[in-house]
Amino acid sequence: MEKVSFVVPIFNERDNIDPLCQAISAAMEPTPYPFEIILVNDGSSDDTWAEIERVSGDYPKLLGVDLVTNYGQSSALSAGIDQASGELIVLMDGDMQNDPADVPMMLDTLKEKDCDVVSGERINRKDSAISRRVPSRIANFFIRLITGVKLRDYGCALRVFRRDIALNLGLYGELHRFIPVLAVLQGARMEQVPVRHHRRKFGKSKYGMGRTFRVISDLLLMVYFKRYQNRPIHFFGTLGIITFGAGAIIDIYFLVLKTLGNDIWGKPLLLLGFLLTIGGIQIITIGIFSEILMRTYYESQHKKPYRVKRTIIRED
pLDDT of residue 134: 66
* 150 vs 48, residue with greater confidence: 48
Which SS3 state, helix, strand or coil, does residue 2 take? coil
Confidence at 210, pLDDT banded by 50, 70, 90: low
Q: Residue 100: what pLDDT?
A: 93
Task: State residue 139 phi and psi, 5-degree precision.
Answer: -60, -45
Query: What does the pLDDT look like over 112-159, one tens digit per residue?
Result: 999 999 999 888 776 655 556 666 677 667 777 777 777 778 778 899
Q: How far apart are CA 123 and CA 112, in angstroms?
A: 22
pLDDT, position 265: 80
What residues does each domain of the chain span?
Answer: 4-228, 232-300
Mean pLDDT is highest, among 128-132, 139-143, 257-261, 275-279, for 275-279
Is 90 exceeded by the pLDDT of residue 276? yes
Report which of residues 5 and 225 the model is more confident about.
5
Helices (H), the chain: 17-28, 48-55, 73-83, 103-113, 134-147, 163-167, 179-185, 212-228, 232-259, 268-300
Residues 71-119 pLDDT 10s = 888 889 999 999 999 999 999 998 888 899 999 999 999 999 999 999 9
Distance of alpha carbon 14 from its chain centroid, rounded? 26
pLDDT of residue 203: 58
Q: What pLDDT, on a 0 to 100 scale, did the predictor assign at position 96?
A: 86
Confidence (pLDDT) at 315 = 63
At 138 the three-state DSSP class reads: helix
Q: Flag whether pLDDT at 66 surpasses 70.
A: yes
Q: With 90 as the cut, is the pLDDT of residue 204 above it?
A: no
Check whether 208 has a pLDDT greater than 90: no
> How confident is residue 303, by pLDDT bands cut at 50, 70 and 90?
low
Question: Does residue 159 or residue 309 have the better pLDDT?
Answer: 159
Q: Which residue has the higher pLDDT, 18 or 152?
A: 18
* pTM recorded for the entire structure: 0.73
Q: Determine the Cα–Cα distance for residues 287 and 271; give it in Å rounded to an integer.
A: 24
Position 34 pLDDT exceeds 90: yes
The separation between CA 140 and the C-alpha centre of its own chain, rounded to angstroms, equals: 14
Statement: residue 26 has pLDDT above 80:
yes
Give all strands of the β-sheet with 190-195 in edge-to-edge order: 62-66, 35-41, 4-10, 88-91, 159-162, 117-122, 190-195
* Residue 207 predicted with pLDDT over 60: no
pLDDT at residue number 291: 86
At the top level of CATH, which class does the domain 4-228 belong to? Answer: alpha beta
Whole-angstrom distance, CA of residue 123 vs CA of residue 116: 22
